[in-house]
Amino acid sequence: MKLILADQYEQLIAQGRSTAAALAEGQEPPEHKPVVKLFTPDANCTWLISELDPDDPDIAFGLCDIGFGCAELGTVRISEIESIRGALGLPAERDRHFCPERSLGEYAEIAHKHGRIVA
C-alpha cells in the first residue's frame, strides 16, 4: 500500500510551504489539519502528518506516537516509517477512512489527555 497518495502529497507540500513562508517572515506558522494518518497494525504506532518539508519531502511534520503513550509534535522521516515492522512483520499503513476534523494542535491536546492519539 502506498503510504501517501499524490493528492495528499501535494497538500502536504503546500502546507509545508505555507509554514516555511510564515517562519521566514517571522510569523507564527498556520495551524494545519493533518492530511494523512499512518499506523502500524501490529506495533501500536500512529502518525498524523500535516506537512512535508518542501526542500526534503522525506521529512514530515506531525503528531507522532510510537506506542509508549506519549504522543509528540515533531518531525519524522517517511522512509523511517516505511522501514518499521511490528511483531508480525507488518509494514505501516495509511488509514483510508481518516478524515481530519480538527487541527493538529487540537489532536495533540486530546492525545496528551488520553495518553495516545485519538483520531
Condensed to tens digits (0 to 9), the pLDDT of residues 78-116 reads: 999 999 998 999 999 999 999 999 999 999 999 999 999
Grid cell locating 66: 510510537
Of the chain, the end-to-end C-alpha distance in Å amounts to 20
CA distance 14 to 116: 28
| Distance separating alpha carbons of residues 49 and 61, to the nearest angstrom | 6
What's the gap between Cα 40 and its chain centre? Answer: 13
Q: What is the pLDDT of residue 60?
A: 98
Q: Is 44 left (phi over 0), alpha (psi -120 to 50) or beta?
A: left
Regarding pTM above 0.75, the answer is yes
Confidence of residue 46 (pLDDT cuts 50, 70, 90): very high
Domain residue ranges in the chain: 6-114
Q: Residues 44, 116, 6, CA angle at the centre, nearest 5°?
A: 65
